[in-house]
Structures are given as C-alpha cells and as structure tokens.
Amino acid sequence: MKAKDLTLGGILIALTLVILYSSSILPISTLTILTLASCLIPICIIRSSVKTGFLVYIGSTTLGFFIIPINIIVYYGLFFGVYGIIKYYIERLRKLSLEIILKLIIFNIIFIISFTVATLFLGNVVINIPLWLLWLLAQPTFIVFDYALTLIIGYYLNRFHKVM
C-alpha cells in the first residue's frame, strides 16, 4: 500500500469519526449525519481504491466503537459504512433496473440483519409503528438515500475530483 493511500485513509477515518461524533453534540438528524459519513467511502474509492475504501470502513467502524455512541456506530457499521462499497460493485453493472433490484435486495437483507443486531446491542428497540409498516416505509427512504448519495458523489466528481 502506498503512503498516499495510507494518508488518505487516515484522514478519511478521522473525518468519519468527527462526523459521526457530531451527531451526539449537534441537533442534527442522525440519518443526515450517517448519510454524510457514508459519502466518505465512495470518495475514498474514487481517489484511491476499493481496498483503501474497505480499510477506511473497517478502521472507522473499529475505532468508532470506542468513541462514538453505540447506536450511531452500530448503524454505521452495519449499513451506512459498507453501503458505499456495495454501491460501487452494483453500479459497475451499468443496467439501471438490475442495479435497483440488487440494491433493494441487499438493503432488505441488511435491514433484517441490522434490526436483529440492533436489538442485541441496543436492547429492546422500541418502534411506535408495526414492523411491517417500518419495512414498507424503509423502501422509499432507501431509494432517496441512494439517490442523495449518487448526487453527492456526482457533485464531488464535478467540483473537486477534476481539480485535484
């Protein structure tokens, strides 16, 4: 691994942890903070490689368990952190309908795993609506999240990547 990749990885891990930690001190939506943190993995993949992006994910998740509130780091570790890597591989197919189907399948698998792990780590998770309704509402929310992540990546590519 090159020194440039190690430096980039260290900076992105630190930035990820700062963004995730800010959710505990700023009155901002947790989903917004998690979305911002999830943008750093695709940026790492663009600037370096998938290997470096994966190491940033592993490093930020591991260090996050020591300094980030457990509910935030569990969600980041189970979905928001790894989704940038999954998105990269799915979008290499270049077939929009297949990409959407695969993303929804992966999301639903991770949704079930996340709910199970969250109940184990966070105790009895209290949801004010039925689980089937939460699942139903999560589908369009995921599509909006994926689209927002695509827009942020596109903005980065157009405004910053070509300059650097």
pLDDT at 134 over 90: no
DSSP string, 47-105: HS-HHHHHHHHHHHHHHHHHHS-HHHHHHIIIIITTHHHHHHHHHTT--HHHHHHHHHH
What is the average per-residue pLDDT within 77-92?
93
pLDDT at 64 over 80: yes
**Burial of 44 by CB count in 10 Å (0-12 exposed, 13-18 middle, 19+ buried)?**
buried
The least confident of 26-30, 66-70, 74-78, 111-115 is: 26-30
pLDDT of 164 = 52
- Which amino acid appears at position 19 of this protein? I
Count of structural domains, the chain: 1
What is the average per-residue pLDDT within 125-140?
85
The boundaries of the domain holding residue 18 are: 3-161
pLDDT of 163 = 56
Number of residues written out for the chain: 164
| pLDDT band at residue 40 under the 50/70/90 scheme | very high
Contact (CB, 8 A) for 35 and 149: yes
Query: Which tens digit of pLDDT belongs to each residue from 136-149?
Result: 999 999 999 999 99
The predicted model scores a pTM of 0.87
